[in-house]
């Protein structure tokens, strides 16, 4: 008998209002090859930990996907279409409780390869993945957009999203919606950007039927007030998830998960914070601890370091350094 996908059960509990911390959804976002090109797996290091000047091959990244699925700690594995095909050909998701998902668009605000300067400009909507090629692999994917408070720019993005929804519905593919913060300052009058962004998200979905709405959101953690406002706006129909952003300290990672869940988020979709951790399976287990057992991020960071020591894994930072909260948004709470 094939395993039930945990995601479906958890979504049902959240949508029915019967959410418990054990229903918190964690996704491993390993779609970075659509943003970073050859640099996605990070620099190669020599035996002393010094960079060799070369980048690690894509197989390192894909091996990490396979290991995470087999470890069975995450609920979703998000990949590019090409990586999704590679994993499917090896039967990675066969009889697994982990749901595969594919990145369905790749607008210019994720074109972050070496030497690129696209993020200094508003997004150009763009899609590489053909939905008829996605469907044999997964019925769930990610669509991303960004609001710039620019009428023509935002209309183009919303038109592209509308066209995508029509095609996705026809193809039988569900999606979750990622909404980035712009990479440069956007004027929003006497309102802060998080307030503007919340209104933009709610407004853009108000005219969308339940048949075409995103399963959940993936947004930047813009602090307690913004998260709580968005999460409480239409609970059940508008499930809030947070994205992780750049890797930093372990305390940042765990504090972000804990704060987000406390203020109403029900999903965490982390990429670099998982991939570049000393032990990806252990950081995910520790993320679950801070949500499910309400262990403080400080104690959880110490626990994570203890786990590394037990396994003979060298930590990248001292415990003192790793206990620092460096993200200004996290300090709001």
Asked whether residue 124 carries a pLDDT value surpassing 60, the answer given is yes
Q: Are 231 and 265 in contact (CB under 8 A)?
A: yes
pLDDT, average across residues 198-204: 98
Where is 43: in which H helix or E strand?
Answer: strand 43-45
Mean pLDDT of the chain: 95
CA distance 136 to 151: 37
Q: Are 330 and 252 in contact (CB under 8 A)?
A: yes
**How far is residue 25 CA from its own chain's centroid?**
11
pLDDT, average across residues 110-125: 95
> Of 306, 314, 282, which is closest to residue 68 (Cα–Cα)?
282
List, in order, residues 6 or more apart from 324 with CB less than 8 Å away: 249, 251, 252
State residue 2's pLDDT score. 57
pLDDT, average across residues 237-260: 94
pLDDT, average across residues 156-183: 97
pLDDT, average across residues 17-41: 97
Provide, rounded to the nearest whole percent, the portion of the chain with pLDDT above 90. 94
Half-sphere exposure of 110 (CA within 13 A, CB side): 26
Grade residue 24 by pLDDT with cuts at 50, 70 and 90. Answer: very high
> Of 274, 281, 308, 299, which is closest to residue 28 (Cα–Cα)?
274
pLDDT, average across residues 308-324: 96
Asked whether residue 64 carries a pLDDT value surpassing 70, the answer given is yes
CA distance 73 to 86: 21
Asked whether residue 96 carries a pLDDT value surpassing 80, the answer given is yes
Hunting for tokens 């020599």 — which residue is that? 46
3-state secondary structure 163-218: HHHHHHHHHCCEEEEEEECCCCCCCCCCCCHHHHHHHHHHHHHHCCCCCCCCCCEE
pLDDT, average across residues 256-266: 97
Grade residue 1 by pLDDT with cuts at 50, 70 and 90. Answer: very low
Which pTM was predicted?
0.95
State residue 58's pLDDT score. 97
Hunting for tokens 């998960």 — which residue is that? 257
State residue 4's pLDDT score. 82
Which tens digits make up the pLDDT trace of 266-292? 999 999 999 999 999 999 999 999 999
Hunting for tokens 């909260």 — which residue is that? 325
Least confident of 20-34, 39-53, 84-98: 39-53
State residue 332's pLDDT score. 82
Distances (CA, A) of 186 to 101, 106, 109, 136, 201: 31, 21, 14, 40, 16
Q: Are 324 and 249 in contact (CB under 8 A)?
A: yes
């Amino acid at each position: 008998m094939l395993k039930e996908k945990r995601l479906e059960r958890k979504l049902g509990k959240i949508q029915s209002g019967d959410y418990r911390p054990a229903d918190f959804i964690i996704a491993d976002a390993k779609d970075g090859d659509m943003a970073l090109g050859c640099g996605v797996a990070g620099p190669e290091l020599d035996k002393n930990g010094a960079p060799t000047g070369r980048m690690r091959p894509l197989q390192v990244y894909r091996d990490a996907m396979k290991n995470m699925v087999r470890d069975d700690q995450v609920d979703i594995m998000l990949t590019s279409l090409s990586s999704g095909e590679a994993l499917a050909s090896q039967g990675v998701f066969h009889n697994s409780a982990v749901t595969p998902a594919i990145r369905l668009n790749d607008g210019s605000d994720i074109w972050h390869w070496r030497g690129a300067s696209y993020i200094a400009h508003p997004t150009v909507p763009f899609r590489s993945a053909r939905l008829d090629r996605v469907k044999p692999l997964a019925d769930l994917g990610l669509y991303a957009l960004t609001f710039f408070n620019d009428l023509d720019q935002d209309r183009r993005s919303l038109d592209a999203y509308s066209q995508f929804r029509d095609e996705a519905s026809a193809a039988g593919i569900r999606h979750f919606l990622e909404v980035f913060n712009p990479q440069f300052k956007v004027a929003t009058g006497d309102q802060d950007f998080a307030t503007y962004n919340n209104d933009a998200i709610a407004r853009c979905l108000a005219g969308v039927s339940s048949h075409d709405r995103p399963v959940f959101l993936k947004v930047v953690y813009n602090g307690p007030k913004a998260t709580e406002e968005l999460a409480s706006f239409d609970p059940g129909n508008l499930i809030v998830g947070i994205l992780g952003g750049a890797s930093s300290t372990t305390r940042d990672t765990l504090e972000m998960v804990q704060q987000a869940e406390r203020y109403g988020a029900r999903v965490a979709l982390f990429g670099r914070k998982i991939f570049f951790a000393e032990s990806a399976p252990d950081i995910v287990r520790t993320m679950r601890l801070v949500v499910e057992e309400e262990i403080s991020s400080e104690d959880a960071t110490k626990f994570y370091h203890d786990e590394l020591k037990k396994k003979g894994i060298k930590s990248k930072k001292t415990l003192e350094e790793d206990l620092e909260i460096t993200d200004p948004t996290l300090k709001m709470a």
